[in-house]
Amino acid sequence: MTSAAVMPRAYRNLINGEWVEASTGRFFENRNPANADELIGMFPASAEDDVNQAVEAAQAAYEKWRLVPAPKRAEILFRAAQLLVLRKEDLARAMTQEMGKILTETRGDVQEAIDMTYYMAGEGRRLFGQTTPSELPNKFAMSVRQPVGVCGLITPWNFPMAIPSWKMMPALVCGNTVVLKPPADAPLSSLLLVQILAEAGLPPGVVNIVFGPGSAVGTPLAKHPGVPVVSFTGSTTVGRFIAEACAPKFKHCSLEMGGKNIILVMDDANLDLAVDGAIWGGFGTTGQRCTAASRVAVHKRVYKEFVERFVDRAKSLKVGDGLNSATEMGPCINKAQLEKVAEYVAIGTDEGAKLLTGGHRLADGAYAKGWFFEPTIFGDCSPRMRVAQEEIFGPVVSVIPMENLEEAVDIANGVPYGLSASIYTRDVNKAFAAARDLFTGIVYVNAPTIGAEIHLPFGGTKQTGNGHREAAIAAIDFYTEWKTIYIDYSDRLQRAQIDTSSFGTFGG
């Protein structure tokens, strides 16, 4: 534990440009999942009063921020992106310490924030509407985008800088203000991102950050009548609650939730490439991604060879502290998540899946103080087994034999989620057929189910989401309302759809 001589840093909420203590006076701990003895900091355990203060500040700031020209708003984002570039390594190391994934991945997380911030800075000069000919003479018709107001953003711990940037940057460039509720398991990265925005020149109150548990902060934020926009990334269970909280006020509500993603390995696949993809897709971020490849359906002709290679590679993965450059997979985020993974291993075994490797907590020696679990593979799985249907959010992959593309697509689509899917094949016809028939928001060909780029829409179908998308222009659509404007300069009453027959005929 931390000695009295080295007290942990106590962080605060940011409300109206000031760092303030929570109304409760209480804090919660942020600990390193690779070494639970390492206390990173103390964060305010806020409550509804703190949310109310943050929303009030955001509402007041909105009245001025929405009138700042979009290119000027974008200049602030551009400066923030430059600061992110300069501090990328420090930000990545801080992220690894608080949530565990390896440095190459946390660098990628920061890079996504950089990319998104630059991208949305560019949109400051491209918030395009339309102009179109009117059906009446001496009348001008156009549409413009307008901001909506205060945006309540609720973000997860697995991408604690990238995902807040996906939500904040489009919201800000469109002229909205923000109240951000970061995850309790990885609050520091979000705080550092908000600090950089403030340093880049964002006015007080435009972004506010309130720390605390979902029930005490997330719920009142989603329900607040002064918050017309709510964007949530997390579990389907919580997402359903958020949707219900938003429904009475007909709020803009974007939900990005669970996934049970699949890699299809056809009999003509490059097996070396497919194994690489299955390792990265299944065990990257310790399987703690909504896009993780937790299922692999393999053609029976190559099933045995693929499984042997896949298991050998998984056994060789170096598990450990993400700050160690040799580490290939870090810890689970916390004890509860590790226990959930262990429970699913027991479920898979009871269901009759064949445990091919892993299945145990790593708790000896260097692992003793962290939440480490072995890379785990189940073979000979039925598509209906719980381990092949339910999101585990850990380093567990179920391998399913299949006979042809039609069966593979049925297996892929036969889950409650529809985020990401992948097919490995050298047959262009099979690739295009799979891309057409897989009912997911994202499809990869000869690549794993993870690796989305910020200039394309991100999101899924079924219980993965509610139809909205993160990133790209799709995010601009979510954080704005369309306004259609008609300007009549005829100096007389004209009646659309009624006066159109009064123009006479041509050539008479």
What distance in Å separates the CA atoms of residue 423 and residue 445, rounded to the nearest whole number? Answer: 5
Query: Is residue 229 within 8 Å of 176, Cβ to Cβ?
Result: yes
Q: Average of pLDDT values for 65-88?
A: 98
CA 195 to each of CA 12, 52, 71, 117, 203: distance values in angstroms, whole numbers, following the listed order? 12, 21, 21, 14, 12
Q: What is the mean pLDDT of residues 295-317?
A: 98
Q: Rounded to an integer, what distance in angstroms lies between the CA atom of residue 404 and that of residue 298?
A: 9
pLDDT at 503: 58
Q: In whole angstroms, what is the distance from residue 148 CA to residue 103 CA? A: 37
Residues contacting 72, CB < 8 A, separation 6+: 124
What pLDDT score was predicted for residue 498?
Answer: 83
Phi, psi at residue 167, to the nearest 5°? -90, -45
Would residue 290 show up in a list of annotated catalytic residues for this protein? yes
Cα dist. 244→76, 226, 346 in Å? 35, 17, 34
What's the chain's average pLDDT? 96
The 3-state secondary structure of 339-387 reads: HHHHHHHHHHHHHCCEEEECCCEECCHHHCCCCEECCEEEECCCCCCHH
Q: What does DSSP say about strands 295-299 and 262-265: parallel, antiparallel, or unpaired? A: parallel
Q: How confident is the model at residue 500 (pLDDT cuts 50, 70, 90)?
A: low
HSE value, Cβ hemisphere, 13 Å, CA-based, for 458: 24
Whether 453 and 242 have beta carbons less than 8 Å apart is answered as no
pLDDT of residue 507: 45
Structure tokens at 193: 């991102």
Q: Using one digit for the tens of pLDDT, what is the confidence trace for 429-456? A: 999 999 999 999 999 999 999 999 999 9
Tell me: pLDDT of 2 over 60. Answer: no
% of residues, the chain, pLDDT over 90: 96
Give yes or no for residue 44 having a pLDDT over 90. Answer: yes
Residue range 333-346, pLDDT digits in tens = 999 999 999 999 99
Q: What is the pLDDT of residue 499?
A: 75
Convert the pLDDT of each residue in 379-428 to its tens digit: 999 999 999 999 999 999 999 999 999 999 999 999 999 999 999 999 99
Of the candidates 460, 99, 422, 135, the one whose C-alpha atom is nearest the C-alpha of residue 281 is: 422
* β-bridge pairing 150-154 and 229-233: parallel
How many residues does this entry show for the chain? Answer: 508
Average of per-residue pLDDT across 63-76 = 98
Residue 305's pLDDT band (cuts 50, 70, 90): very high
Contacts of 96 (CB under 8 A, 6+ apart): 102, 103, 106, 322, 323, 330
Rounded to whole angstroms, the Cα distance separating 214 from 36 reads 22
Q: What is the mean pLDDT of the segment spanning 138-149? A: 97
Query: Given a cut of 50, is residue 123 above it in pLDDT?
Result: yes
The reported pLDDT for the residue numbered 502 is: 57
* Residue 308 among the catalytic residues: no
**56, 112, 123, 256: which one is catalytic?**
256
Helix, strand, coil tally for the chain in percent (to 5): 40, 20, 40
User: What are 395's two structure tokens?
Assistant: 């380093």
Could you tell me which of 380, 393, 373, 367 has the C-alpha nearest to residue 282? 393
pLDDT at 60 over 50: yes
Structure tokens at 221: 């934020």
- At 259, is the pLDDT very low, low, confident or very high (cuts 50, 70, 90)? very high
Beta-bridge partners for 424: 265
The dihedral formed by the CA atoms of 470, 71, 182 and 234, expressed in degrees to the nearest 10: -10
Distance CA 254, CA 213 (A): 20
- Asked whether residue 505 carries a pLDDT value surpassing 70, the answer given is no
Helices (H) and strands (E) in the chain, counts: 14, 23
Per-residue pLDDT reduced to its tens digit, 365-384: 999 999 999 999 999 999 99
Task: Give how far Cα 182 sits from Cα of 15, 45, 162, 299, 335, Å.
Answer: 14, 12, 12, 42, 20
Decide if pLDDT at 506 tops 60. Answer: no
Helices 88-99 and 103-123 pack at an angle, to 10 degrees, of: 120
Give the per-residue pLDDT at 501. Answer: 62
Q: Which entry of 151, 174, 290, 381 is annotated as an active-site residue?
A: 290
What's the Rg (C-alpha) of the chain?
A: 25
Average pLDDT over residues 351-377: 97
pLDDT at 61: 98
CA–CA gap between residue 327 and residue 97 (Å, rounded): 14
**Domains observed in the chain:** 20-31+40-128+149-257+465-478 (3.40.605.10), 262-445 (3.40.309.10)
pLDDT, average across residues 193-211: 98
Percent residues over pLDDT 70 in the chain: 97
> Exposed, middle or buried by CB within 10 Å (0-12, 13-18, 19+), for 453?
exposed
Give residue for tokens 């391998």: 399
Say if residues 411 and 382 touch (Cβ distance below 8 Å): no
Contact criterion met (CB below 8 Å) for 370 and 331 = yes
Kindly tell me if the per-residue pLDDT of 224 is higher than 60.
yes
What phi, psi does 133 have (nearest 5°)? -65, 140
φ and ψ at residue 104, rounded to 5 degrees: -60, -30
**Does residue 1 surpass a pLDDT of 50?**
no
Cα distance between residue 243 and residue 120, in whole Å:
27
Measured distance CA(378)–CA(394) in Å, rounded: 13
